[in-house]
Amino acid sequence: MTQDSAPQEQSFFEAVGGHQTFVRLVDVFYAGVADDEVLRPMYPEEDLEPAKTRLVMFLEQYWGGPTTYSQKRGHPRLRMRHAPFHVNPDARDRWLQHMRNGVDALELSPLHEEVLWDYLTRAAMAMVNTFKPTGIGPSAQGRTDIPLSSED
């Protein structure tokens, strides 16, 4: 077999079922967010559909699918995009619980589930930007609760 005819490895995106898998994950996730008293206020839009679309595009791109997210929104810059929000350990844990429900609904193979969950957990940990008690969404006056040092 020549190098040109060697089988191509599937991306994670393809291996787990492609677009419909990520739509299902995000649908289940946002069903939980819709009723969450801490997370829901972080979405200023009445309709969660735009947020769902953005998350599907981001996850698809991250896992080797279409690059629509970057084409439409540029570099993901996750920490910067989440900086206006009060993301403390409570918000992180709520996010992870809703995402856990979404991952469980996918019924992935154990290996795919572990890889996806590992990424989601690490991403959630990285978004924490305060340890102050739970507050609500973006601040119109700007953030005053972002720690300036690790001692805050």
Torsion sign across C-alpha atoms 135, 139, 140, 146: positive
Q: Does 142 map to a domain?
A: no
pTM: 0.82
Max Cα–Cα distance, the chain, nearest Å: 63
Q: What is the CATH number of the domain that holds 87?
A: 1.10.490.10
User: What percentage of the chain carries pLDDT values higher than 70?
Assistant: 84
Q: Give the total number of structural domains in the chain.
A: 1
Tokens of 72: 């439409």
Q: Which domain holds residue 82?
A: 14-127
What's residue 152's pLDDT?
A: 35
**Residues whose CB is less than 8 angstroms from the CB of residue 25 and which lie 6 or more positions away in sequence, other chains included:** 59, 99, 102, 103, 105, 106
What's residue 119's pLDDT?
A: 98
What's residue 3's pLDDT?
A: 57
What's residue 145's pLDDT?
A: 43
Write out the DSSP string of 48-117: SHHHHHHHHHHHHHHTTS--HHHHHH-S--HHHHHTTS---HHHHHHHHHHHHHHHHHH---HHHHHHHH
Q: Does 95 map to a domain?
A: yes
